[in-house]
Every structure is written in C-alpha cells, then in structure tokens.
Amino acid sequence: MKKIISTLFISSLVAGSASASVILNNSFESSFDDWTVVDTSANLSRNATDLGGATYNGDATAGGGSALGTNRAFANLNGAGQSSSLTAFVYVDGTLDNTGTKETIAAGQYAFTMAIGNKDGGNSYDDNGDIELTLGYLTTADDISSFTSFESLSMTAAAVKTAITENTWADITVIGTVRDTDVAIIGSQLAVQFTTTRTTVGVNNNNQTSFDYARVASVPEPSTYALLAGLFGLGHVMVRRRRS
C-alpha cells in the first residue's frame, strides 16, 4: 500500500489554565486556526473549495454532532488506480501555565478525540476509508519525523460509518496511559496523529474524510475518581451522622 504524507502541522495554541484540555479551539475556521502548517499538499483542505468541486456551506453542526463552526478540514483520497492515505501530525506548542514552552508528557492518561463527519448535502464518507487515531511523542525535540506511538485506535470505515448519520459527526477517541516507568516517554513532546486510508479508487469525490474539533485532554486516573467518590461518600456519612 502506497502512503502519501499529506500534511505536517504544529499547534501554536496555548491552552487556558481553567481547562483540562491540552489543545483547544482547533476548528480550522481560519487557515487552520491555531495550527502552523509546516508542509502540505492538495490532498488536505480547510474548506473544500479547491478539491474536485466539492464545497462545504452552512453550519458544520447541522443535525448535531461535535464539529465546530462552518469550516472543517478534510482529506481527499481520490486517485487513479492507487492506494493512498493521509496522515496529519500535530504537537502542542504551549503549556497550561502559559510559559510558552513545548508541552511535555508527564505520567498519566491522555485522550485524543477527533470529530469525523460528512460534508453538507450528502454522505461523503468512503466505505473503504479506514481511520486511525494515535497518541505519541517526539523522540527528538521539534522533529516531527521522530513521531513514535504509545497508543492507537483503528476503526474500519464500516464501523465509523455506522456512527455517522446524514450531516452529523461522531467523536472518535483513543486513550493512552503513560506510567512512571515509561522513562523514554516522560519529558518528551506530546504528539498526535490522525490517519485515513483507502484501498480502492475514488469516484466523483466520494473518498473524502471530513474531520474537525481535534482535542487532546488529560484524563483523571481511575484512582482519582475512586478518591473523589470516597470523599463524597465520607461527606455524605458525616452529614447523615450530624442529622441523626
């Protein structure tokens, strides 16, 4: 299978300290809003006006879903007689405390979510276009070619398609854990990768995977939930005892 690396881009957004998200507001509303494009090709578009005549109009959230705003990015996987894929690499530039340094990985859990959907006016998702979401890190600082995965989630096109109805979007999420013993990962720059791949020739621009609203968030460990539940239960017992 031939792979075409279509886009490399880096996030320059500094996340707000009030949110658990590492990456925010990546809705591609204005020239890949909050992303700095490093390398691109015609296989990726922010607003589809230059690819095979396909155009997006109206509200991307029509019919529900989690896409943001009126624009979204999409991968055009049409081609003559060859397999192809689109891979988008992103990594965080900025930290929760606004220091302006690259976001580095600490021990804990991370969730990478991408909204996958259809273009307005019809179903554009290809039955033969599989997707993969990957959490990873850079083994060499600032070198996106050193991207290394520590967790990924693959879904067939059929599975994705069942989660998407006309003009709606489906959130696809992969969750990965970095342990205290993962010394090769801790301190590295956080990176994520979205890939969509097809194995058949596209016809009439039907091989287009739309995506929007990319998020990477820290996820509380199960032990944290247990602690919170325990504290809540303790407080409940104390209240009941006081009332008795």
Residue 73's φ and ψ, nearest 5 degrees, are: -85, 155
* Positive/negative CA dihedral, 62, 66, 72, 77: negative
Residue 66 has a pLDDT of: 59
Q: Give this prediction's pTM.
A: 0.69
Residue carrying the six token digits 């809003």: 33
Token duo for residue 94: 């900025």
Tens of pLDDT, residue by residue over 72-84, are 666 666 654 444 5
Rounded Cα distance between 104 and 142, Å, is 12
- How many residues are recorded in the chain? 244
CB 25 within 8 A of CB 92: no
Closest CA to 157 of 202, 197, 115, 216: 197
Residue carrying the six token digits 């696809």: 172
Bigger pLDDT: 185 or 128?
185
Q: Kindly list the structural domains of the chain, giving each domain's residue range(s) and its CATH number in brackets, ordered by start.
A: 7-243 (2.60.120)
Residue carrying the six token digits 């405390």: 97
Which of 65-79, 108-122, 184-198, 218-232 shows the lowest mean pLDDT across its residues? 218-232
29: left (phi over 0), alpha (psi -120 to 50) or beta: alpha
Tens of pLDDT, residue by residue over 95-119, are 333 334 456 788 889 888 888 876 5
Residue 41 has a pLDDT of: 42
